[in-house]
Amino acid sequence: MTLNNEEINRYSRHLTLPEVGMGGQLKLKEAKVLMIGAGGLGSPLGMYLGAVGIGKLGLVDFDVVDHTNLHRQIAHAASDEGRPKVHSLCDTILAGNSNIEVEVHNIRLERENVLELFGQYDIIADGSDNFETRYLINDAAYFTKKPLVSASIFRFQGQITIFDPESGGPCYRCLYSEPPPAALVPS
């Protein structure tokens, strides 16, 4: 794998960083990241991962852009209202960097599709907004041996961590063995 002339120019500030350099940039280009959620977390995440040159980004969401999303889900424009979020986010990412590949999965993540999907990527990034999905993602990442970058927000609080049982660390169920009762928690 190599960089074309436009990419060498685009990523020049990376290439001059000793911590990144050509080797690091090529690692980014070879990487395949699957993002769950194209909303409040997925918007900035997708835009940044696309801008830095992750070679392949997968976007999973089944929701459509709503007027109440616009004040924080910054990948979506007012003209995107009613469109699937994965398409809106994909367009925004590619408008910034057309060197990369974006694959949209306009689906609800389920037991039946999650393992096959995770198997196609190197790293899973969870920006989902409900516990059912969060546990499903944890279990699928565990069984497919993929590092899981897990983030969540509630009002003014945020949490982010990386679960990588393959390197000896815990998984999400090690921290929280059971989902909380649905009636007690907000999404």
The residues that touch Zn ion, with contacts defined as CB under 5 A, are: 171, 173-174
Q: How far is the CB of 94 from Zn ion (least distance, A)?
A: 36
Helix orientation angle between 42-52 and 85-96, rounded to the nearest 10 degrees: 30
A 10 A CB-CB count for 105 gives 18
Nearest residue (CB) to Zn ion, 48 versus 143: 143
Q: Which is nearer to Zn ion, 56 or 173 (CB)?
A: 173
43 or 133, CB closer to Zn ion?
A: 133
CB-neighbour burial class of residue 15 (10 A; exposed 0-12, middle 13-18, buried 19+): middle
Residues 153 and 40 sit within 8 Å (Cβ to Cβ): yes
Q: Which is nearer to Zn ion, 77 or 160 (CB)?
A: 160
In angstroms, give the least distance from the CB of 33 to Zn ion: 22
Pick between residue 83 and residue 173 the one whose CB is nearest to Zn ion. 173
List, edge to edge, every strand of the sheet that includes 56-60: 101-105, 56-60, 32-36, 123-126, 148-154, 157-163
Give me the amino acid identity at 45.
L
Instruction: Output the six-digit token pair for 175.
Output: 């921290």
